[in-house]
Every structure is written in C-alpha cells, then in structure tokens.
Amino acid sequence: ILADYNLGSWTGLEAFELMLQERHDVPFILVTGALGDQRAIECVKRGVTDYILKDQLDRLPLAINRAQEERVLRNEHLRSQAALEESEAKFRALADTIPMATFIEQSTHCHYANQAAERITGYSQDELLTMNFWQLILPDSRQSLTTVQNFQDRDWADSRHELKILTKDGQIRWLDEIGRASCRERV
C-alpha cells in the first residue's frame, strides 16, 4: 500500500492502524511531502514499512522491492517456525507415550525429560529440567561411565551401560543407558 501521510481529515498513519486492526499483512509505505523526524520515527516504530519523501520518488521502486522481500522473508520465517513447532509437538507426543525414560541433554543441561523419566526417577519434569543426568547417577556408576566416555571422546563409538541411579524418594534403580555421539537415551 502506498499512502500519502495527509489524507484530508485523517492521516496515512491512521490508515495503517486501520489496516492492522483488520489484520491485513501488506507492506505499507507512506509517501509524503514532508515528514518531520519525530513523525517518521513514530511511523516506523508503529510498523510502517518505509516512508518516501515526494521530492525523492526515485527511491520508491527500491523501497517497494525491499518491502516485498522483507514480507517474503517474514512469511518464510513464520512457515519455518510453524513447521518446527509441529515437529516438536509430534516428538513430544511420541516421547511422552513410550514407556522408557528419555532425557535430552546438551552439555550438562537437561532440555527435555518425558513422563516416563518422571515416573522412574520420582522427580517432576520441572525438577529434572533444573538438574543434569549426572546428579541422578550413583558415584560407582559415574566412575565407570566417566572412563568409557573419556575413551569415546576420541572415537565416539556407540555405547550401552547399566547405571545405578538414586530416585527422589531414595530408591536405587538400574537404568540401561544407550548413548551415541551427540544423543544419549536413558531406559
């Protein structure tokens, strides 16, 4: 949309606000004879795509192209974000229905623990997300796992270990830990 700032009894900015209220996603460029710095800043802060002074109309094609490119990029980003959210929802639905505990950790920070992890450890998901898996493992299991991980740091072979953990209520449980270079799954 190309609109003059002065539209008689109302302004281009008011037209822009009406467009937003009606939820139209269209680039909006103000074309004006004079627009003070304060008004220009106010328009851009409110979301107007650009403004062109009437004595600089040679900038108009460039502004239109840039506005269209930005819209395409924004729509691609929104589609990517929606696809990512859908993929994460599918993963969570799957991970929450399997009976084995699944933890996703990066470095030493837990980013995800499924319902089975809560049931097996006795900790809530919120509690598990503030912990790292090492905090659950008993010291003798930590020692054997550390030795194997140091070896794996060199060649990242697949690994499988039986580990003892301490649940929230003080019970000792055995876990079968299956790991790969960047992914470790706890059963």
Average pLDDT over residues 3-29: 87
Range scoring the smallest mean pLDDT among 23-27, 86-90, 140-144, 171-175: 140-144
What distance in Å separates the CA atoms of residue 61 and residue 52, rounded to the nearest whole number?
10
**Sign of the four-CA dihedral 134, 144, 122, 111:** positive
Residue type, 46: R
Q: What pLDDT digit, counting tens, does each position of 50-72 carry?
A: 888 888 899 999 999 999 999 99
* Average pLDDT along the chain: 83
Which three-class secondary structure state does DSSP give residue 186?
A: strand
* Crossing angle (nearest 10°) for helices 37-46 and 12-21: 10
* Token pair listed for 113: 């623990």
pTM, 2 dp: 0.57
Q: What pLDDT digit, counting tens, does each position of 86-136 carry?
A: 999 998 899 888 888 888 887 778 888 899 999 999 999 999 999 888 888
Give backbone dihedrals phi and psi of 39, rounded to 5 degrees, phi first.
-65, -40
